[in-house]
Amino acid sequence: MIAVLFFLITIPHYVVTLGYPAFLPSLIDNLNLTRQAFERILYLAPIVWAGFIFGFKGAFITSVIALILMAPRIFLNIDDRLGVLFEVGSVFIIGNLLAITFDSYRHARERRIELENTQRELQASEQRYRSLFEDAHDGIFLQDMEGNIVATNFAASKLTGYSISELVGMNVRKFLSSEALEIARDIRQKLLKGETIGESYDQKIKRKDGTEVLVRLSSSLIRNNGRVVGFQHIGRDITEEKRLQENQSYYVQQVTRAQEEERKRISRELHDDTIQSLVALSRQLDTLASGKDLPQEVRQRVEELWQQTNNVMQGVRRLSQDLRPAALDRLGLLPALEWLTTDVVKFSGIPTYLTVTGLERRLPEDVELTLFRIVQEALRNVWRHSGATRADVAVEFTNYKVKITISDNGKGFDLPKSAGDLAKDGKLGLAGMAERARLLDATLTSQSKTGKGTTIAIELAA
């Protein structure tokens, strides 16, 4: 279209014989313009059009083309060459100025539309966030740096027993005990220092009616232009959940304790009854085999029975020790672990070493028993499944903690993604160790990789 405009303007500009419609000559006369001057002004039209559509770059290219098309008239018009040159230059300059003006207007209009769209999106986003905020199932508290609540939602109101209007403006000290305030201060300092506090933590909150609820909170900083202006807390009531967990833990603990008592009873009966009977039977067979009146064939058969009886007796004695090592009850954990490592070497042939560092001390009976069972299960897995040529048990005593590490150089295995998948993936031994660790409120970690061996570590405050 711009090319057509140039054609329609340029042809009559140089072919003077071409006439105009009747109204144009009178219009040109009224404006005190010559025909050629009017035609040069017409060149502004494609320049402005190009600038409006393509911006300043388009206007500049179009004005150069117009300049080229008008230039021959400068040399053809000998009488008023300076005037023609002035008109041509004016068209070029004015065309570009108009193009710049239109281009600026277009950019301003586009920017205004963009800002309006952004504002609408922000309003929609704010509305969505407010809906999520108000309708969230978890309680949300926004507080300033002094601990005053500046915004909250209905779930938080339900959690605390206060209405939203009562909560807004209230200081968090109102529903936090002194112990809970210490936890809050510690979390605050860690957040401000940029430290990691984990995904969530538990906090007790006093409701309006005076009752306490246990809330699992996740906290984060609120920033404005890079400056910390407050904190956001998202909380969920876990009082009932915690109570169920404690009940479950209590039942598991009772079942485990009953199981250990039954092990102890069976071990004692095997030692005091079965093994003694086998000892008496072995002696009788030995006396019978020593008789001079027995035929050689019968004596040989009795000796075989005597040997089988001794083997059975050794097996029962080992079973009795495995059920409840006497050293554990009489001497404590470390002697029991020494017996255990020696037993593993004897029956599996895998060199197993025990090392103890730190100041040795006795632990509560149930703690020693649970730790022994975890180490026993770990070493049982070593000689049954790992294919290892060496195993190590390291016991480390520090001022407030005890850490036991069981490692081997076996074939290893790929660990499940979560502890909850241990039983599902057939890792019942590890699942049992993890459950026993939970009974002690201890931390059990497992590291293993195919071809890289396995390391089990349990750490507890003691």
Domain containing residue 227: CATH number: 3.30.450.20
**294 found inside a domain:** yes
Average the pLDDT over 195-217 and give the result.
84
* Domain end residue (candidates: 237, 255, 272): 237
Clarify whether residues 42 and 148 are in a common domain: no
Phi first, then psi: give them for residue 26, nearest 5 degrees.
-65, -35
Predicted confidence (pLDDT) at residue 79 exceeds the cutoff of 70: no
Clarify whether residues 142 and 183 are in a common domain: yes
**CA 216 → CA 189, 213, 355, 441, distances in Å?**
19, 10, 40, 18
Query: Beta-carbon neighbour count of residue 221 at 10 Å?
Result: 13
pLDDT of residue 337: 92
pLDDT of residue 356: 94
Confidence of residue 297 (pLDDT cuts 50, 70, 90): confident
CATH of residue 369's domain is 3.30.565.10
**126 found inside a domain:** no
Clarify whether residues 225 and 273 are in a common domain: no
**Which of 198-212, 238-252, 308-322, 436-450 has the lowest average pLDDT?**
238-252
**Which of 78-82, 127-131, 213-217 has the lowest average pLDDT?**
78-82
Place of tokens 């306490």: 212
Domain count, the chain: 4
* Domain end residue (candidates: 213, 237, 261): 237
**131 found inside a domain:** no
Amino acid at 181: L
Confidence of residue 85 (pLDDT cuts 50, 70, 90): low
Counting residues of the chain whose pLDDT is more than 70, the rounded percentage is 71
What pLDDT digit, counting tens, does each position of 96-147 carry? 676 677 677 777 778 888 887 777 777 666 666 666 667 778 888 889 999 9
From the number of C-beta atoms within 10 Å of its C-beta (0-12, 13-18, 19+), residue 161 rates as middle
Confidence of residue 17 (pLDDT cuts 50, 70, 90): very low
Predicted confidence (pLDDT) at residue 195 exceeds the cutoff of 90: no
**125 found inside a domain:** no
* Domain end residue (candidates: 211, 237, 263): 237
Predicted confidence (pLDDT) at residue 253 exceeds the cutoff of 60: yes
Clarify whether residues 254 and 311 are in a common domain: yes
**421 found inside a domain:** yes
What pLDDT digit, counting tens, does each position of 365-387 carry? 888 888 988 998 899 888 888 88
Average the pLDDT over 159-170 and give the result.
89
Confidence of residue 159 (pLDDT cuts 50, 70, 90): confident
Clarify whether residues 36 and 63 are in a common domain: yes
Pairing of strands 391-397, 352-357: parallel
The boundaries of the domain holding residue 65 are 2-120
Clarify whether residues 96 and 164 are in a common domain: no
Phi first, then psi: give them for residue 340, nearest 5 degrees.
-65, -45
Q: Which tokens go with 84? A: 């023609």
Clarify whether residues 391 and 458 are in a common domain: yes
Q: Which residue has the higher pLDDT, 415 or 437?
A: 437
Clarify whether residues 17 and 101 are in a common domain: yes
Clarify whether residues 170 and 269 are in a common domain: no
Predicted confidence (pLDDT) at residue 196 exceeds the cutoff of 80: no
What pLDDT digit, counting tens, does each position of 307-344 carry? 888 888 877 777 776 777 777 778 889 998 998 898 88
Average the pLDDT over 224-242 and give the result.
85
Q: Which tokens go with 363? A: 């632990």
Q: Which tokens go with 34? A: 């010559």
Q: Are 95 and 44 in contact (CB under 8 A)?
A: yes
